[in-house]
Structure 1
């Protein structure tokens, strides 16, 4: 989504934002840019829905990764939030998460909750509690919470190191392209800047045991 998209959108539009570690590009707005986006959305009276699936995995700091969401709340937006702990707590099998809706008053809260209950009932009825109990235990215990923060920071630092290593080795191999965007991006995903033809070439030439019949053979 570009700023132009926001500007051209009708008033009272619904916008979906990734709070951090954007999937699939790895390109996150800066704090200043988030401030500008919040002001524009406020002007257009938009409903802002946040997807926060990688909190802590972007910068290595869960507080910093929540900046966008907290800025919007501070600016008076009635936001919606889909939050996941599947990644940052390693609970992929549990797929544990939560939906949060900020409302103006108790009456509005009651109405929203009634609709959410209908959706939940039709989708999965009663989710297992094991994952939620694990998350609750970690977040309520200061020692466990501190250990958790240290561990996801290690993961974030590892991803940052992998980005730098990729950029450095591409240069060592003789590439003249500027690969700074690889290390400037953040989180688990990356926009390489390669063309579809270049991607197909890499797939075909460097995975010979696999049968990629849907990709055209490219000339050398």
Structure 2
């Protein structure tokens, strides 16, 4: 008789915390664990532009809306995703743009997670890197994805606990001395998860120069384009710098539409492989091999969410409205960072808290210890990751004072 041998694995921390939060009946409970946007009332916010797109799609009543698409995804969606990521203007395409676009192979994926996974198994099979370098810390799922791809993982320093800042010197020193030719370096395009700390443009240039000089392969994870700063162009700066200023470098990009369109459950994403200039003839071969992997996993990306994105990005009016919605989300998160910081300063909470307003994007690496995090959960029903990562979108004018006072109390108790 065949006996299944399987060992337990630890539950996903974020989903476990969300489940605990949902089962908590305390009236002042606060969820700072889930990476989803919330309004000032703590409610989900279907973007107004998404609701308008859904309305138009219902009116269109496209009889083909439930049909199969191509293995590489919705054919009309692919160039829209590419152009948004890399900054091409579909209304003013030049010969140079056409040559650059020919370097990029694009397929639709099951959101950003699927794009990361597809990229990892594609590189594991065809590039066979000895190591993938992940930031320490990084999004926990990066560890799982590359483990499942069978690529050995190492980490480069990213966060300085002493200063609560980006450890640029540590990152550069480690990659310079230890990374080897052909290694993959996983880079967060903007709004680093979980720290909220991003390199400056000058630091990005140094990081990319190092990758070029040592023949390291950059793998960008772009989960927050437009959501972090309110500008889709600003949040794609590092990716576009490599494309336009380093034409002899290859790279790939995992692109998610979960945060910037609020399509968390629709699973809309894309994976882009960028060939070096002169290797355009290989693009179709790259796409065919990506499709081979897609076919064996999920056959093609889901259509409902990408139809919404497609409707928005093909309408100048809806695109303009989307940009306004991005500003609404990013500005609310910035205001909540400021409110939390101001209240902690007003309370005289021990320690320094300026990092909260120096970080950007959805998350803040608060600097709270696991014991302090557990105390926040057990005594005050405030849920955040044991690393101290807090989702700023869970703050609102209604709870930020309560959260700040709870942090003040636990910090004082553990000082």
Is residue 163 of structure 1 aligned with residue 333 of structure 2?
Answer: no
Shift of 1:200: 2.1
CA distance in 2 between partners of 1:91 and 1:202 (Å): 30
Task: State the SS of the aligned residue for 2:300.
Answer: coil
Moved more, 127-136 or 20-29: 127-136
CA distance in 1 between partners of 2:356 and 2:282 (Å): 44
Structure 2 counterpart of 1:81:
253
Structure 2 stretches lacking a partner, 5+ long: 1-134, 136-170, 383-409
Shift of 1:198: 2.0
- In the TM superposition, 1:202-213 aligns within 5 A as 202-207=376-381
CA distance in 2 between partners of 1:115 and 1:3 (Å): 33
Is residue 67 of structure 1 aligned with residue 237 of structure 2?
Answer: yes
- In the TM superposition, 1:113-152 aligns within 5 A as 113-152=287-326
Contact 2:341 2:353 in 1 (8 A): yes
Contact 2:268 2:302 in 1 (8 A): no
Alignment partner for residue 39 of structure 1, among 192, 204, 209? 209
TM-score, normalization: structure 2?
0.49
After superposition, what is the alpha-carbon deviation per residue over 1:15-67, rounded to whole angstroms, capped at 9, x for unaligned?
A: 11110111111111111111111111110111111111110111111100000
Shift of 1:141: 1.0
Structure 2 counterpart of 1:24:
194
Moved more, 105-114 or 178-187: 105-114
TM-score, normalization: structure 1?
0.90
Structure 2 counterpart of 1:109:
283
Structure 2 counterpart of 1:99:
271
Give the aligned length.
211
Structure 2 counterpart of 1:54:
224
CA distance in 2 between partners of 1:97 and 1:197 (Å): 37
Contact 2:189 2:220 in 1 (8 A): yes
Moved more, 169-178 or 59-68: 169-178
The two structures, once aligned, show a CA RMSD in angstroms of 1.8
CA distance in 2 between partners of 1:185 and 1:126 (Å): 37
Structure 2 counterpart of 1:175:
349
Shift of 1:192: 0.6
Could you list the structure 1 runs, at least 4 aligned residues long, displaced by more than 6 angstroms after superposition: none
CA distance in 2 between partners of 1:110 and 1:15 (Å): 25
Contact 2:267 2:302 in 1 (8 A): no
Structure 1 stretches lacking a partner, 5+ long: 209-217
Shift of 1:139: 1.1
Is residue 192 of structure 1 aligned with residue 366 of structure 2?
Answer: yes
Shift of 1:174: 2.4
Task: State the SS of the aligned residue for 1:89.
Answer: coil
Shift of 1:147: 0.5
